[in-house]
Amino acid sequence: MRLTRSTALAVALLVPAGALAAGGGPVKNAKYSGSVGPGYPMTFKVSASGKTVDDLVVAFEETCSPGAGSVAPKFHYGTLAITGGKFSGTSTDQFGKTVSDRLHISGSFSGRDASGKVTDLAKIKSLPNCTQTEPFTAKVK
């Protein structure tokens, strides 16, 4: 079947712009793995329905506070909703009474690839607060 220019134009006007983007949303029922910033590992799964990110684990060590360790702690997230090909969430860890660390992630999917940023807010009682943001990328395994 051959489309005329006017038919092709009419179809283009009816299709939302995001629907024509290469790659689309996440791969359903897939495991993604990747890295944050200088190479900290991250892994997660996309549900069979493609509507949630599950089992997200991100290793991250902020370096803007003195005395950063040599092993990046792992942050575990609850289930995160995927809306319009995007997801976000926060994980908080408390280390004793004087240190808290909040790691926020926001990302988007383009098929087999995911990318975005991770922002860490570290609060150490005896030091100024430290905020650090790093990009992440992940791919279907």
pLDDT tens profile 70-85: 688 899 999 999 999 9
Q: Is residue 66 in a domain?
A: yes
- Residues 34-56 have pLDDT tens digits of 999 999 999 999 999 999 999 99
Element (H, E) at 84: none
Q: What's the number of domains the chain is made of?
A: 1
What CATH number is given to the structural domain containing 70?
2.40.128.30
Reported pTM: 0.79
Residue 41 lies in a domain: yes
What pLDDT is recorded for position 23? 59
Q: 46 is in which domain, residue-wise? A: 28-140
For residue 5, is it within any domain? no
Residue 101 has pLDDT above 90, yes or no: no
pLDDT, tens only, 115-125:
999 999 988 88
pLDDT at 21 over 60: no
Inside any domain, residue 116: yes
The residues near 76 (Cβ < 8 Å, ≥ 6 apart) are 56, 57, 91
